[in-house]
Amino acid sequence: MKIGFIGLGIMGKPMSLNLIKAGYQLVVLDLNASAVAELVAAGAETAGSPREVAERTEVIITMLPNSPQVKEVVLGERGVLEGARKGSVVIDMSSIAPLVSRELAAELAGHGVDMLDAPVSGGQPKAIDGTLSVMVGGPQEVFDRYYPVMKAMAGSVVRTGDIGAGNVTKLANQIIVALNIAAMAEALVLATKAGVEPELVWQAIRGGLAGSTVLDAKAPLVMDRKFQPGFRINLHIKDLANVLETSHQLGVPLPLTASVMEMMQALKTDGQGDADHCSLVRYYEKMAQVEVHRKA
């Protein structure tokens, strides 16, 4: 099976490398020449346009920043739709608005092309080690057929419903992650200001009800002051914008999500948009005039 992979960013590059390791042939496309060169060195072929990717493959995976980029790559000039054959499939693993996923799927279906919306969670570390969580929307038979492809990049691949359900699930995921990081930041800043070692607080609570994957992944980074991006503040802002847009369309109030969104926007304004989302702690540190770190 030959797979097209469009989008070799912080997530897409390691995901595509894992597909090659699993034995799949890849045709890749990205604006970043160095990322493309790395994939070519690993055995991938290149293409000059999304249309060419689709012409040469049966599965086209997209991993792009947001809805406008996915729409342009799939439906735009020299896009995937121009080259896709009847019976091929587009697996969009970007995190985009659910209504856009449904719009794309309807357009592709009119040309005999299937689609799955399959956003991921886990950040760069899990993209690298192939243990991402994939949340999938689309027909059961299409999901079953391409499950092995997605599983080659993931530890968990779960179908949550029809087209759009994958991105609804991702929105729910991003709410929980954002609020977890904010709660962790509040707690560690409080402990530090009170003179209690944050590392000991983390060790004490991580095995109880307050423990979580987010806590164990992000607390050590905060205490070691490692804010290089595994998942950028700017990308989480994009996801929360989709969350809030969808919630407004559905009439669902999300006051906690809106509060964390404003914190992230403040950090972006402060020049920290490209830092990891655990940088939320800096919002609290600035107000409390204290810094969370391990004991020297």
Domains in the chain with CATH codes: 2-161 (3.40.50.720), 168-288 (1.10.1040.10)
Q: How confident is the model at residue 138 (pLDDT cuts 50, 70, 90)?
A: very high
How is 14-53 classified by DSSP, letter by letter? HHHHHHHHTT-EEEEE-S-HHHHHHHHHHT-EE-SSHHHH
Q: Is the Cβ–Cβ distance between 261 and 280 less than 8 Å?
A: no
Residue-averaged pLDDT of the chain: 96
pLDDT for the residue 15: 98
pLDDT for the residue 77: 96
Per-residue pLDDT averaged across 170-195, rounded? 97
pLDDT in tens, 265-285: 999 999 999 999 999 999 999
Indicate the pairing of strand 2-6 with strand 25-29. Answer: parallel
pLDDT above 80: residue 296: no
The one-letter code for the residue type at 276 is: D
- The whole-angstrom separation of Cα 254 and Cα 158 is 25
Q: Would you name the residues annotated as active-site residues?
A: 170
Q: How confident is the model at residue 295 (pLDDT cuts 50, 70, 90)?
A: confident
Q: How confident is the model at residue 190 (pLDDT cuts 50, 70, 90)?
A: very high
Q: How confident is the model at residue 214 (pLDDT cuts 50, 70, 90)?
A: very high
pLDDT above 90: residue 19: yes
pLDDT in tens, 26-44: 999 999 999 999 999 999 9
pLDDT in tens, 68-82: 999 999 999 999 999
Per-residue pLDDT averaged across 175-197, rounded? 98
Q: Is 148 helix (H, G, I), strand (E, B) or coil?
A: helix
For residue 107, CA distances in Å to 90, 115, 219 come to 12, 10, 44
pLDDT above 90: residue 23: yes
Cβ neighbours, 10 Å, residue 223: 19
pLDDT for the residue 179: 98
pLDDT for the residue 143: 98
Q: How confident is the model at residue 211 (pLDDT cuts 50, 70, 90)?
A: very high
pLDDT above 80: residue 178: yes
pLDDT in tens, 228-245: 988 899 999 999 999 999
Q: How confident is the model at residue 93 (pLDDT cuts 50, 70, 90)?
A: very high
Per-residue pLDDT averaged across 162-190, rounded? 97
pLDDT above 80: residue 57: yes
Kindly give, in sequence order, each residue whose CB lies less than 8 Å from that of residue 130, ignoring residues fewer than 6 positions away: 18, 21, 152, 153, 154, 155
Q: Which of 92, 46, 95 is nearest to 73 (CA)?
A: 92
